[in-house]
């Protein structure tokens, strides 16, 4: 029997990440997740290069939507809107027909580290960048990648420059439009003015006509699904297409974070990369943070680490252990910077293991890998709090729960390590697909004209389990701090 249309409207939120695309088929009224379709991506490159073919993202989006609709058991006619949340910072260059000229350089491509350092100096140093864009260039940022491309592939006839989510949104509705959230990860968008920065564009030789127009927010309506896209996706022509946003901004929407106060619920996201972010109405300025805009027009200061669950899983694989076979590291310190590191800014670093004894067990080494990754994130959280005017060491400061999201949030070892090193309670939301659910709220906003954060709050997608605080392991924290301080000169070389 063919699927039948449900007695409610459906929206689709797309999470196009580094490794895969997920399409969350969602009840627009309640936020109930009906199904999640999935399709993999491929990433290539070595010696710092990380690239993907954008056409594969489109194919994966098509396959994920089809799988999600089939699993949900609903007809395409029930779908009223779609929006995309994409991995940040990726550089997509197109020809005049909208076709990719080369594979996209991804966020974790570290080849542009020299260009990032040079750009920082050419504008007048870190403080000048913070005042303009809110973020100091590092290898991850799109401006540095564009500069690398100009220097290394100067003959490319580039007709358009897009971020990953922009590329997919344009394929859906034929309109070149982006939002402040994802645009703020380029270093050519100014969070001070809410527009592209003409001096930065001139500095990097990027003509503004190559860029998509700026929408007021990720919940705006970019346009309508074109006939061609509708045919390829098997969806009704003319449904609403949301502007969409970056993946971190969508996760904040999915949690119902809207920058209502000085700081709204700090979040640790444990995925391939690790991120720390919070919604705020304060415009922070710190060299250790990316001063992003949020999808709703407020701010989303964020720190990102390159090495999180993937690095720890690799250590477990090398030791022949399951990822949950971890014990506290004791005297062992492991800084798992297997892909270089972004926070702290050590693009050429490698993993570093110290403090081995005859009595050291493999489980302790694995536990030390968890500790090194969690320490790096929690250290960034302290900087985020300071940048927003809060003292992380003030009496009672540790009572504020941290929300733990991403694939690692379901792991016992991750949650216990974060609790032990931070001394904070941890809230683990029930929803597992917060980026996709945030994109679904953006799609619902594009359909209805309502605030996507308010929609997600009404859906109650941020509810979860509160794990009480553990006594803080200050000795482990000090060991890690001392090890990083001693090792940094070597890691920089």
Residue at which a domain ends, from 248, 279, 312? 248
Contact predicate 428/465, CB 8 Å? yes
Would you say residue 197 lies in a domain?
yes
> Is 88 annotated among the ligand-binding residues?
yes
Output the six-digit token pair for 393.
Answer: 């060491």
pLDDT tens-digit readout, 48-90 = 899 999 999 999 999 999 999 999 999 999 999 999 999 999 9
- How far apart, in whole angstroms, are the C-alpha atoms of residue 411 and residue 417? 10
Instruction: Tell me whether residue 286 is exposed, middle or buried, using C-beta atoms within 10 angstroms of its C-beta: 0 to 12, 13 to 18, 19 or more.
Output: buried
Quote the pLDDT of residue 211.
98
Is residue 236 packed enough to be buried (19+ CB in 10 Å), middle (13-18) or exposed (0-12)?
middle
In this structure, the answer to whether residues 265 and 216 fall within a common structural domain is no
- Domains contained in the chain, number: 2
Q: Does 477 score more than 80 pLDDT?
A: yes
- The yes-or-no answer on residue 247 being catalytic is yes
Task: Say how far apart CA 225 and CA 222 lie, in whole Å.
Answer: 10
Q: Is the pLDDT of residue 3 over 60?
A: no
Same domain, 87 and 212: yes
Residue 358 falls inside a structural domain:
yes
Q: Are 189 and 324 contained in the same domain?
A: no
210 with 299, same domain: the answer is: no
d(CA 55, CA 41): 10
In a domain, 304, yes or no: yes
pTM of the entire structure?
0.88
**Helix%, strand%, coil% for the chain, nearest 5:** 40, 20, 40
What confidence score (pLDDT) does residue 492 get?
Answer: 62
Q: Do 381 and 340 sit in the same domain of this protein? A: yes
In this structure, the number of other CB atoms found within 10 A of the CB of residue 7 comes to 6
Q: Is 147 known to sit in a ligand binding site?
A: no
List the structure tokens of 159. 């007709």
Domain housing 493: 257-429+463-493
For residue 336, CA distances in Å to 306, 313, 369, 467 come to: 10, 10, 6, 26
> What confidence tens digit (pLDDT) does each residue in 228-241 have?
999 999 999 999 99
**φ, ψ for residue 308, nearest 5 deg:** -135, -110
User: Is residue 262's pLDDT more than 60?
Assistant: no
Query: Is 233 inside a domain boundary?
Result: yes
How far is it, in rounded angstroms, from Cα 100 to Cα 87? 17
CATH (domain of 409)? 3.30.420.40
Q: Are 16 and 165 in contact (CB under 8 A)?
A: yes
Contact 24, 36 (CB under 8 A): yes
Q: Which of 222, 248, 274 is the last residue of a domain?
A: 248
Exactly one of 15, 109, 197, 247 is catalytic; name it.
Answer: 247
Is there a domain that residue 319 lies in?
A: yes
Phi first, then psi, for residue 31 (nearest 5°) are 80, 5
pLDDT at residue 483 greater than cutoff 60: yes
Are 47 and 130 contained in the same domain?
Answer: yes
How many angstroms separate the first and last alpha carbons of the chain?
64
Helical ranges in 18-133 per DSSP H: 54-72, 113-122, 126-132
445 located within any domain: no
Domain assignment of residue 440, yes or no: no
Same domain, 220 and 183: yes
Give the tens place of pLDDT for each residue, 164-217. Answer: 999 999 999 999 999 999 999 999 999 999 999 999 999 999 999 999 999 987
Task: Assign 1 a pLDDT band (cuts: 50, 70, 90).
Answer: very low
Q: How many Cβ atoms from other residues are within 10 Å of residue 357's Cβ?
A: 10
Shared domain for 34 and 169, answered yes or no, is yes
């Amino acid at each position: 029997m063919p699927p039948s249309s449900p007695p409610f409207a459906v929206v689709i939120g797309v999470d196009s990440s580094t490794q895969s695309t997920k399409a969350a088929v969602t009840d627009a009224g309640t936020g109930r997740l009906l199904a999640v379709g999935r399709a993999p991506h491929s990433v290539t490159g070595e010696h710092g290069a990380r690239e993907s073919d954008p056409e594969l993202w489109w194919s994966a989006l098509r396959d994920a939507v089809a799988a999600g609709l089939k699993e949900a058991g609903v007809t395409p006619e029930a779908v009223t809107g779609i929006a995309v949340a994409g991995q940040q910072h990726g550089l997509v260059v197109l020809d005049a027909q909208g076709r990719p000229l080369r594979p996209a350089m991804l966020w974790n491509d570290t080849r542009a580290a020299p260009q990032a350092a040079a750009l920082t100096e050419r504008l007048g140093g870190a403080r000048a960048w913070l005042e303009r864009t809110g973020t100091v260039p590092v290898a991850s940022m799109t401006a540095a990648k564009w500069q690398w491309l100009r220097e290394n592939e100067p003959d490319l006839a580039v007709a358009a420059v897009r971020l990953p989510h922009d590329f997919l949104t344009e394929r859906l509705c034929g309109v070149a439009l982006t939002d402040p959230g994802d645009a703020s990860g380029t270093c050519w968008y100014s969070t001070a003015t809410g527009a592209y920065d003409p001096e930065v564009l001139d500095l990097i030789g990027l003509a503004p006509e190559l860029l998509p127009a700026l929408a007021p927010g990720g919940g705006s309506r970019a346009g309508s699904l074109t006939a061609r896209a509708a045919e390829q996706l098997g969806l009704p022509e003319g449904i609403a297409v949301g502007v969409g946003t970056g993946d971190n901004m969508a996760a904040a929407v999915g949690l119902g974070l809207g920058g209502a106060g000085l700081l709204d619920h700090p979040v640790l996201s444990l995925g391939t990369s690790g991120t720390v972010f919070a919604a705020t109405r304060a415009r922070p300025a710190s060299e250790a943070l990316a001063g992003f805009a949020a999808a709703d027009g407020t701010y989303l200061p964020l720190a990102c680490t390159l090495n999180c669950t993937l690095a720890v899983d690799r250590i477990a694989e090398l030791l022949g252990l399951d990822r949950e076979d971890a014990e506290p590291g004791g005297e062992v310190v492991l800084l798992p910077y297997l892909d270089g590191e972004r926070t702290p800014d050590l693009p050429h670093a490698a993993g570093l293991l110290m403090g081995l004894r005859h009595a050291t067990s493999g489980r302790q080494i694995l536990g030390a890998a968890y500790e090194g990754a969690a320490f790096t994130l929690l250290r960034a959280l302290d900087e985020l709090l300071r940048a927003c005017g809060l003292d992380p060491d003030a009496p009672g400061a540790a009572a504020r729960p941290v929300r733990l999201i991403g694939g690692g949030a379901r792991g016992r070892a991750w949650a216990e390590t974060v609790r032990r090193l931070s001394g904070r309670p941890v809230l683990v939301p029930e929803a597992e697909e917060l980026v996709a659910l945030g994109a679904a709220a953006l799609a619902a906003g594009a359909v209805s004209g309502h605030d996507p954060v308010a929609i997600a709050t009404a859906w109650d997608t941020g509810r979860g389990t509160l794990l009480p605080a553990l006594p803080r392991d200050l000795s482990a924290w000090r060991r890690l701090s001392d090890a990083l301080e001693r090792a940094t000169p070597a890691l920089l070389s």
